[in-house]
Chains A and B, each alone.
Chain A
């Protein structure tokens, strides 16, 4: 299936819900190739459109947010014939798998860093769109990398920034319940610190978004 002359696919290193990650060689560099697989459950028209637009968006976004000092893998090539995104290879593990194995002070430090980086994105009107602990990679020398920008957008709206924070909040609560409070508090505090006073409105809105959810008791609803 490889019709790209400058790349050699070596082996599959991870199969996610949406994409398969290959390790490979691009010219003589070690790279990661993210391939958005065709999804046979949906019709071809829709499948082609979704895979193509998301590959383009992710490539563009990775380049844009890197300029705002958000740690993301460097993009080498966006290959739209194959729906491949060719990036720097980063070795590490998902924050999701690490979170329970580290001590409290380390967790605090990581979530402060994460809050700061999300503020970097939001200050520049970049919305990640799928912030979860599966989409944050930690390397062996404790560097943080944000990945999976396929659902990201550019927006100046408070609402969109709040939804971003709401998503990570919910993942923390549902998947890492026992660490939820400490982690989210560290994240929000450093987000606030980095973003400045304008962040108040964004943070306040999180509660409004939650209260809009189905089946929230009336007395908890705002307005």
Chain B
């Protein structure tokens, strides 16, 4: 008997600091997942430097991923890539690489929305049907749920993303990028709350005023006298995460969903997990956080979303694979769920 060959997808994530590659089969089994993340020595992410980094590491990263999956390039049936949103120069590099591979090796190509990738990998890995999602990362702060044929945005930041805010503050405090995990560690040592601006508008949030306030605390003469960096880190987390939790709870009550999904890089934070789990229980909703290796940007989320889309509508024409740095997720059609 001839064994049907399983179909394989190569997923490539290239929107920001992570060049992520993953090999997975069409049933959602992840065969390998390899990330190469750019870490600046000082300062934040400069799009040009990130681009250089990705250009240098892409072939090695793809080769390792294929090797780890015990496959070769000719086993690949589909290439999925992140078409947006993200940093323009970085997206362009990603598109360049995948278009080359697709045309050279005659493999169908499909572009997917990065934000939807986060939700879809969460649904797959946590076994969820229809969750309310809190997606928090360096570039995004979105509360979303599936309604009327697409992933609607119920709340989002009106200015900067929560991860961006925490990283930027950490940088001002002299910590190296990424600052989130370091802030979390520092916060665990303190119990001293300094009142900070708390800004919620309906289901939307604003972090820029909070950022200014914590930055001013660093400059104050009371710094390292009345309070230290740990106290600021603690107050910052308590305020920002309470805001996120409040709007998530409000969206949960509004949409009546019975599942809550926490995803994105900031989802790794234990304190945020604790808060979101708490409100989920209060509303009798199932709480899930995406497993750590799928929480930050990765190729598997892109590959899986590509597979879902490919099964419904087939591959993209090469001329439809132009990048879209400002692509909103509520504009994307979701044929696999309608």
Taking Cβ atoms with an 8 Å cutoff, the residues of A that contact B are 16-18, 39-43, 45-46, 49-50, 96, 129-132, 134, 151, 163, 167, 170, 173-175, 177-178, 212-218
Contacts and interface: CB of A to CB of B under 8 A. Distances in A.
A17 B202 contact: no
Contact of B275 (A17, A41, A173, A212): A41
Given A17-B252, A175-B254, A41 B278 contact: yes
Given A42-B238, A177-B148, A214-B140, A167 B201 contact: yes
Interface of B: 84-85, 140, 147-149, 152-154, 156-158, 161, 193, 195, 198, 200-202, 204, 238-239, 242, 245-246, 249-250, 252-255, 274-275, 278-279, 324-328, 330
Nearest to A153: B201
B239 A151 contact: no
A218 B326 contact: yes
Nearest to B157: A214
Contacts of B239: 46
Contacts of B149: 177
Contacts of B157: 214
B193 A174 contact: no
B202 A43 contact: no
15 contacts: A17-B253, A18-B246, A45-B195, A49-B195, A132-B202, A132-B254, A163-B201, A167-B202, A173-B152, A174-B153, A175-B254, A178-B148, A214-B85, A215-B328, A218-B326
A46 B246 CA distance: 12
A174 B326 contact: no
Contact of A42 (B85, B201, B204, B275): B275
A174 B193 CA distance: 36
Contacts of B330: 174
Leading 7 A-B pairs by shortest Cβ distance: A177-B148, A17-B253, A174-B152, A42-B242, A41-B275, A215-B326, A41-B278
B274 A41 contact: yes
Contacts of A174: 147-148, 152-154, 330
B156 A213 contact: yes
B1 to A, nearest CB: 49
Contacts of A173: 152
Contact of B254 (A45, A134, A214, A218): A134
Contacts of B278: 40-41
Nearest to A42: B242
**Interface of B, helix, strand, loop or mixed by DSSP:** mixed
B193 A43 contact: yes
Contacts of B201: 129-130, 151, 163, 167
Contact of A46 (B152, B242, B253, B325): B242
B202 A41 contact: no
B173 to A, nearest CB: 21
A43 B85 contact: no
Nearest to B251: A17
Contacts of A96: 254
Contacts of B238: 42-43, 46
A94 B325 CA distance: 39
A206 to B, nearest CB: 14
Nearest to B252: A17
A131 B202 contact: yes
Contacts of B147: 174-175, 177
Given A46-B193, A174-B147, 12 more contacts: A39-B242, A46-B198, A49-B195, A130-B202, A132-B254, A151-B201, A177-B149, A214-B85, A214-B161, A214-B326, A214-B328, A217-B326
A48 B42 CA distance: 40
Nearest to A17: B253
A212 B252 contact: no
Name the residue in B149, B193, B249, B254 with the highest tally of chain A Cβ atoms < 10 Å from its Cβ.
Answer: B254
Nearest to B243: A42
A129 B201 CA distance: 6
Contacts of B250: 17-18
A41 B240 CA distance: 12
Nearest to A43: B238
B158 A212 contact: yes
Given A45-B193, A174-B154, A151 B200 contact: yes
B252 A41 contact: no
Contact of A17 (B85, B140, B154, B249): B249
A18 B253 CA distance: 9
Contacts of B326: 214-218
A180 to B, nearest CB: 9
Contacts of B154: 174
Contacts of A167: 201-202, 204
